[in-house]
A and B are shown apart, each in its own frame.
Chain A
Amino acid sequence: GAGVSQSPSNKVTEKGKDVELRCDPISGHTALYWYRQRLGQGLEFLIYFQGNSAPDKSGLPSDRFSAERTGESVSTLTIQRTQQEDSAVYLCASSLDHIAQYFGPGTRLTVL
């Protein structure tokens, strides 16, 4: 079956611009996660959605970052007024239970 998909695969933007990253989870997966992977660093948790519960936003690094999820489907991660330190690979994952999170291919964001 189809895995987690993300778009775009690459995004180059200018400092100060807003960007939107999209994630399509595996069908039926109730949980959706966003992580950030900076070069040479481990994955950092950003935000977690579980069904209709309030999202866990504890990993968002600043108020420039926000995310939404429509029901149990698509999610968008928005970064406002991008900064150079936002350059990273943004990874989305989904899970049916707590056993395993399945990751998408990521969006590589470059802020010039």
Chain B
Amino acid sequence: EDQVTQSPEALRLQEGESSSLNCSYTVSGLRGLFWYRQDPGKGPEFLFTLYSAGEEKEKERLKATLTKKESFLHITAPKPEDSATYLCAVQAGGGGNKLTFGTGTQLKVEL
């Protein structure tokens, strides 16, 4: 069974204080690993897809990396508007197109 574990559950940062969120996964044949951002009361917003170990993708202050067992979402010099819940999900090669999600990391960035 595919599993995704995210840590920490919650993270509080000061503005400008860089940090990383972790996503550990077990999946039978990874087709893709996805990062989403979810604001309260809204649906998840797509950020990145990573396909193979060693791959990296960047968007503004966010950078996602992937190894064979985990992915990191690095947040550089965060701002209060980066506050949200960040979700990680995997898509298995033999599991159709469904995503298996972790429970997310709730990030709060304070002034």
A positions within 8 Å CB-CB of B:
4, 31, 33, 35, 40-45, 48, 50, 56, 58-59, 91, 93, 95, 98-106
Stretch at the interface among B61-69, B74-82, B97-105: B97-105
Given A31-B97, A42-B87, A42-B103, A100–B42 Cβ distance below 8 Å? Answer: no
Min CB distance, B71 to chain A, in Å? 15
Residue B45 at the chain A interface, CB threshold 8 Å: yes
Given contacts A45-B99, A45-B100, 9 further A-B contacts (CB under 8 A): A31-B97, A35-B99, A40-B103, A43-B87, A43-B99, A95-B97, A100-B46, A103-B44, A105-B41
Given A42-B101, A45-B100, A48-B98, A100–B49 Cβ distance below 8 Å? Answer: yes
Considering the chains assembled together, what is the distance between the CA atoms of A82 and B102 in angstroms? 26
User: Chain A contacts of B99 at CB under 8 A?
Assistant: 33, 35, 43, 45, 101
Given A105-B43, A106-B43, A59–B98 Cβ distance below 8 Å? Answer: yes
Considering the chains assembled together, what is the distance between the CA atoms of A38 and B46 in angstroms? 20
Residue B11 at the chain A interface, CB threshold 8 Å: no
Residue of B nearest to A50 (CB): B97
Considering the chains assembled together, what is the distance between the CA atoms of A101 and B45 in angstroms? 9
Could you tell me the dominant secondary structure of chain B's interface residues?
Answer: strand
A4 touches B43 (CB 8 A): yes
A48 touches B32 (CB 8 A): no
User: Chain B contacts of A103 at CB under 8 A?
Assistant: 36, 43-46
Given A33-B98, A56-B96, A99-B32, A42–B104 Cβ distance below 8 Å? Answer: yes
Considering the chains assembled together, what is the distance between the CA atoms of A106 and B43 in angstroms? 6
Residue B4 at the chain A interface, CB threshold 8 Å: yes
